[in-house]
Amino acid sequence: MRAFAEWLSTSAPSVAIQSRFWFIRVLQATHLITAGVAVASGLMISLRVLNFQRADQPFDAAWARFAPWLTASLAVMLLTGLAQTLGDPVREFTATSYWVKVVLVLCCIAGTLWFARAARRAPATTSFSVTAKLVAAALILFWLLLPLLGRMIAYDKAIWGPLSLRT
Binding of another protein by 137 (CB under 8 A): no
Binding-residue pattern over the window 5 to 34 for another protein, x denoting contact by CB under 8 A: --------------------x--xx--xx-
Nearer to another protein, 27 or 118 (CB): 27
Q: Which residue among 5, 51, 65, 91 contacts another protein (CB under 8 A)?
A: 65
Part of the chain binding another protein (CB under 8 A), chosen from 5-13, 114-122, 125-133, 149-157: 149-157
Nearer to another protein, 57 or 125 (CB): 57
Nearer to another protein, 105 or 149 (CB): 149
Q: Which of 86, 90, 81, 84 is nearest to 38 (CA)?
A: 81
Nearer to another protein, 9 or 34 (CB): 34
* Minimum distance from residue 68 beta carbon to another protein (Å): 9
Query: Rounded to an integer, what distance in angstroms lies between the CA atom of residue 111 and that of residue 115?
Result: 7
Residues of this chain, 34-53, that bind another protein according to CB under 8 A: 35-41, 43-44, 53
Nearer to another protein, 8 or 100 (CB): 100
Rounded to 10°, the helix 96-121/130-152 angle is 150
Burial of 4 (0-12, 13-18, 19+ CB in 10 A): exposed
What is the binding site for another protein (CB under 8 A)?
25, 28-29, 32-33, 35-41, 43-44, 53-54, 65, 69, 144, 147-152, 154-155, 158-159
